Amino acid sequence: MKNEDSKGFYAEQADLAMEDHLIFEYRFESFVDPEEAAAHLCQEQSTAQWKRVGVDEDLRCQFGAKVIELTVIDQRETSHYPEMGNEQGPVYSCRVKIAHPHANFGPKIPNILTAACGEGAFYCPGISVIKLLDITFPDSFLDHFEGPKFGVQGIRDMLEVYDRPLFFGVVKPNIGLTPESFAELAYQSWLGGLDIAKDDEMQGDVDWSPLAERSLLMGKARRKAEEQTHEKKMYLANITDEADRLLELHDMCVKNGANALMVNAMTVGLSSIRMLRRHTQVPLVAHFDMIAPFTRVPYYGIDSNVIITLQRMVGFDSIIFPGLGARMRTSDQEVLENVEECLKPAGNLKPCLPVPAGSQWAATTLDIHKTLKTIDFGIVPGRGVFEHPMGPKGGAASLRQAWDAFKKGVTLEEYGKTYKELKTAIEAFG
Amino acid sequence: MKNEDSKGFYAEQADLAMEDHLIFEYRFESFVDPEEAAAHLCQEQSTAQWKRVGVDEDLRCQFGAKVIELTVIDQRETSHYPEMGNEQGPVYSCRVKIAHPHANFGPKIPNILTAACGEGAFYCPGISVIKLLDITFPDSFLDHFEGPKFGVQGIRDMLEVYDRPLFFGVVKPNIGLTPESFAELAYQSWLGGLDIAKDDEMQGDVDWSPLAERSLLMGKARRKAEEQTHEKKMYLANITDEADRLLELHDMCVKNGANALMVNAMTVGLSSIRMLRRHTQVPLVAHFDMIAPFTRVPYYGIDSNVIITLQRMVGFDSIIFPGLGARMRTSDQEVLENVEECLKPAGNLKPCLPVPAGSQWAATTLDIHKTLKTIDFGIVPGRGVFEHPMGPKGGAASLRQAWDAFKKGVTLEEYGKTYKELKTAIEAFG
């Protein structure tokens, strides 16, 4: 690109009507002059060719994406991933903020994704390695999105639990149980104190456990547990399936007694969730399958924050994502940012309940609470409840006991002397 | 995992009913004994807990994913991406084939993706770096998928072109033109010899060019061009939009005269494409936005072949993907594999037309043909047609002239002496 052409893709933020723009922030490595690379990034994602042959016009002014901030962080001898470029020589590590006129695509998930992480961003001349770090949306743009129907408050109202984190549990064995056996395990876990018994992300509508049957038995078990415990309970049914079955599965599961629904968001597509959101009568919960492949590489892909934000925008009331601890290989900082993304003010969107996940048991609640400094989160053990040596009732009880110990200022070991489920959990999982 | 537990996740391929399994092939790096890591990979993606507490059972036999082949390729001092693991010490680079019982999820895209690239695969103990290389489907499983409705043959029948590659062109300027100006450019390109004039991937249903109006004008322009050239033409309309608008946009565009539809597949979700496929009256074409973020990193994510296969399964008649040449940073081998994936026998699925893309002009067709050794492909220039100094009519003509030169065994330079559009193209883009 000629130098005078590059200038058409630069602007002062103060000169732009920022309500009319999304800000895409990238970190990239370029083998060419960073200013030229950043201009290319704008060109390729917006007006690749800005005038017709033989016509004196310039479409960049109204339609071009514009660099509003460019910082060269570092000059390195090679790219972080040298196999990904065929260029030699020094690379510039840069951060760039691009103001992209949102009229180019409108308030639609697939078209936002095309602009921010389509061909333009990922096949840009001079740039071999790039990660989309953030998208900033003006409130007026967010207003087009329904967001969570229930949110944190709505889920708490359904459960009538306001003073502690929420206890999810993934019924295990996750694969292979009959609906009867499955519902019995869930029932036991609810009796023990679980708030939300859920299907595993791998357990959809399958021949060995049809959702029609499973949701019916789970609905009955839930109501029975509610009567016996005088607590409200949730059955979170996994309706992950082809896009054109989501509404039908919603209707069936809700009728049968599921009072929350899970979808493995990226495997179905965020846009389908938006469709489901407009229809749903119960809270929607996201599971994080197929997100790691594009978020976990440090210098390439898309930051997990972006996906959390989009999941909230399309209407998830709760988002399960990789949580604290070595098991999930995710930094505490990333987890904290993801939690913040769920809960922070964002136009008129309700906050959604963060559920940082991964190999949890009774004591995990306290660790997470200590790090997050809020009670607005869920934990979601699997084996920590369902492989508890006293069974799921004991496993679920141990979760509640650990929190009670914390509230009373007693150590878990001390509290375990009175409560054998907690003591057993410490011995099995501690 | 205990050693005797690991064994439950191994099997001889000969002992399994392979019709009942998909084969997931991964390359991974582990900090622990590869056999243990591979067993974990099976466990986490299938029966994470395979018995209830207090019940003597083993769900692994029927429901467990099983290692059927494990090869340690290399032992390395550090992982390829050391920032992605917190472990120290030597790592084993491995390839593994896992037979996963498909009854665990069924013939559904989101549930296949959950099994193959969900939490189980990407958050497996001992494995920091992993890439899904391939999925092998038994023909009986593929039979559940409709695949391309038209395929290569169907598209050729519509265009009545059987003896050469197909010439797509992305109308440019892509962003900012009125529908009238846009249709005029397309019309000129059709007159020049283009087969398929298409919307850019960034150009959806937007206020400055509503699809209702654009498709109507493009339909008229197409029919006019067909009358004048006595050739069949296609208008490929980009209906990328929220999932619940796809069918409505299909109906409108087809009624107005679009005779092929493009969707940026991953931004909407492959499952929504399957829904569209069941409804469509015209060929469906995929564009590759949001695929690079999880396919381009050499040792992490998902191989592009897998996504090509899935796009064919859900029903795309043609797939646009990163093509040959330095511009797209994709190896010739990967492009060749992607082409092969489109065209190879796969149960009853029709072959779909590969369109390897990226900064093309007249001469590109010959380069691609030389490498692919087939005429069953499309090229998809943008500026190579629409920034041609003689305008889109000249640009399109230059594509046809280059192919004619090749068929006659004449060099482009020689042919350009007679055909000024080709000569001008060589001067502008050569």
Predicted confidence at residue A89, as pLDDT, reads: 79
Last residue of a domain, one of B108, B142, B176: B142
The residue among A393, A428, A43, A332 whose CA lies nearest residue A194 is A393
Say which DSSP state B133 is in: E
Residue B391 contacts A, CB cutoff 8 Å: yes
Which structure tokens are listed for B217? 């004008």
Predicted confidence at residue B82, as pLDDT, reads: 87
**Cβ atoms of residues A27 and A71 within 8 Å:** no
Predicted confidence at residue B406, as pLDDT, reads: 98
User: Which residues, including other chains, have CB under 8 Å from residue A29's CB and lie 6 or more apart?
Assistant: A76, A79, A80, A91, A92, A93, A94, A127, A128, A129, A130, A299
Same domain, residue pair B156 and B134: no
What pairs with residue A29 in β-bridges? A93, A129
Residue A204 contacts B, CB cutoff 8 Å: yes
Picking from A243, A298, A389, the nearest residue to B271 by CB comes out as A243
**Cβ atoms of residues A198 and A169 within 8 Å:** yes
In this predicted structure, the answer to whether residue B301 has a pLDDT above a threshold of 90 is yes
Predicted confidence at residue B384, as pLDDT, reads: 95
Same domain, residue pair B224 and B243: yes
What pairs with residue B378 in β-bridges? B166
When scoring B81, B268, B334, B335 by the number of chain A Cβ atoms within 10 A, the one with the most, hence best to mutate, is B268
Residue A187 contacts B, CB cutoff 8 Å: no
**CATH code of the domain in which A95 resides:** 3.30.70.150
Same domain, residue pair B178 and B308: yes
Same domain, residue pair A160 and A45: no
Same domain, residue pair B67 and B102: yes
What pairs with residue B69 in β-bridges? B97
Q: In percent, how much of chain B has pLDDT > 90?
A: 94
- Distance between CA atoms of B83 and A300, rounded to whole angstroms? 13
In this predicted structure, the answer to whether residue B107 has a pLDDT above a threshold of 90 is yes
| Residues 217-276, chain B, touching A (beta carbon < 8 A) | 240-244, 264, 266-272, 274-275
Same domain, residue pair A194 and A90: no
- Distance between CA atoms of B159 and B166, rounded to whole angstroms? 9
Predicted confidence at residue A2, as pLDDT, reads: 76
Say which DSSP state A137 is in: -
The residue among B34, B151, B170 whose CA lies nearest residue B92 is B34
CB contact under 8 Å between A206 and B103, yes or no, is: yes
Kindly report the average pLDDT of chain B as a whole number: 96
Which structure tokens are listed for B356? 């390897």
Residue B323 contacts A, CB cutoff 8 Å: no
Picking from B290, B328, B358, the nearest residue to A117 by CB comes out as B290
Residues B137-174: tens digit of each pLDDT: 999 999 999 999 999 999 999 999 999 999 999 999 99
Same domain, residue pair B384 and B242: yes
User: Which residues, including other chains, have CB under 8 Å from residue A112's CB and lie 6 or more apart?
Assistant: A22, A105, A135, A310
Same domain, residue pair A336 and A416: yes
- Distance between CA atoms of B402 and B405, rounded to whole angstroms? 5
Predicted confidence at residue B85, as pLDDT, reads: 77
- Distance between CA atoms of B391 and B385, rounded to whole angstroms? 7
Range A382-408 average pLDDT: 97
Residue A322 contacts B, CB cutoff 8 Å: yes
Which structure tokens are listed for B268? 């909407």
Q: Chain A: nearest CA to B290, how far in angstroms?
A: 5
The amino acid that residue A429 corresponds to is F
- Distance between CA atoms of B397 and B390, rounded to whole angstroms? 10
**Cβ atoms of residues A60 and A50 within 8 Å:** yes
ipTM of the complex: 0.98
Residues in A closer than 8 angstroms to B297, CB to CB, are: 81, 84, 297, 300-301
Residue B395 backbone dihedrals phi, psi, to 5 degrees: -60, -45
Q: Quick one: CA dihedral B394, B399, B402, B404, positive or negative?
A: negative
Collapsed DSSP state (helix, strand, coil) of residue A42? helix
- Relative to beta strand B166-170, strand B378-379 is parallel
What pairs with residue A66 in β-bridges? A99
Picking from B45, B59, B175, the nearest residue to A173 by CB comes out as B59
Q: Chain B: nearest CA to A136, how far in angstroms?
A: 19
- Distance between CA atoms of B350 and B333, rounded to whole angstroms? 23
CB contact under 8 Å between A53 and B387, yes or no, is: yes
Residue with tokens 């390897």: B356
Same domain, residue pair A355 and A378: yes
Confidence of residue B359 (pLDDT cuts 50, 70, 90): confident
Same domain, residue pair A158 and A283: yes
- Distance between CA atoms of A286 and A122, rounded to whole angstroms? 26
Range B286-300 average pLDDT: 98
Please state, as a whole number, how many other Cβ atoms lie within 10 Å of the Cβ of residue B226: 14
Confidence of residue A83 (pLDDT cuts 50, 70, 90): confident
Residues in B closer than 8 angstroms to A41, CB to CB, are: none
- Distance between CA atoms of B227 and B182, rounded to whole angstroms? 19
**CATH code of the domain in which B345 resides:** 3.20.20.110
The residue among B303, B315, B267, B259 whose CA lies nearest residue B287 is B267
Q: Quick one: CA dihedral A269, A270, A271, A276, positive or negative?
A: positive
Range A383-407 average pLDDT: 97
- Of all residues in chain A, the one with the smallest CA distance to B303 is A293
Range B404-418 average pLDDT: 98
In this predicted structure, the answer to whether residue A144 has a pLDDT above a threshold of 80 is yes
Q: Chain B: nearest CA to A42, how far in angstroms?
A: 13
Last residue of a domain, one of A117, A142, A167: A142
CB contact under 8 Å between B243 and A271, yes or no, is: yes
Residue B81 contacts A, CB cutoff 8 Å: yes
Last residue of a domain, one of A81, A114, A142: A142
Where does B173-245 have alpha helices with state H? Answer: 179-192, 211-229
Residue with tokens 């509404």: A247
Residues in B closer than 8 angstroms to A49, CB to CB, are: 172-174, 382-383, 386-387
Picking from A122, A207, A386, the nearest residue to B293 by CB comes out as A122
CB pairs under 8 A between A and B: 318
Residue A68 belongs to what H/E stretch?
strand A66-76
For the ranges B69-83, B183-197, B229-243, the lowest mean pLDDT is seen at B69-83
Predicted confidence at residue B415, as pLDDT, reads: 98
In this predicted structure, the answer to whether residue B4 has a pLDDT above a threshold of 90 is no
Residue A186 backbone dihedrals phi, psi, to 5 degrees: -60, -45
Residue A192's domain comprises: 151-429
The residue among A234, A316, A324, A306 whose CA lies nearest residue A280 is A316
Range A242-265 average pLDDT: 98
**Cβ atoms of residues B317 and B286 within 8 Å:** no
| Residues 44-73, chain B, touching A (beta carbon < 8 A) | 45-54, 59, 62-63
Phi-psi region of A146 (alpha: psi -120 to 50; beta: other; left: phi over 0): alpha
Count of domains forming chain B: 2
Which structure tokens are listed for A222? 């839930």
Confidence of residue B88 (pLDDT cuts 50, 70, 90): confident
- Distance between CA atoms of B301 and A294, rounded to whole angstroms? 7
The amino acid that residue B15 corresponds to is D
Which structure tokens are listed for B243? 């999932």
Same domain, residue pair A248 and A291: yes
Same domain, residue pair A215 and A326: yes
Q: Chain B: nearest CA to A186, how far in angstroms?
A: 12
CB contact under 8 Å between B113 and A270, yes or no, is: no
Confidence of residue B3 (pLDDT cuts 50, 70, 90): confident
User: Does the reported pTM lie above 0.95?
Assistant: yes
In this predicted structure, the answer to whether residue B69 has a pLDDT above a threshold of 90 is yes
CB contact under 8 Å between B173 and A115, yes or no, is: no
CB contact under 8 Å between B84 and A298, yes or no, is: yes
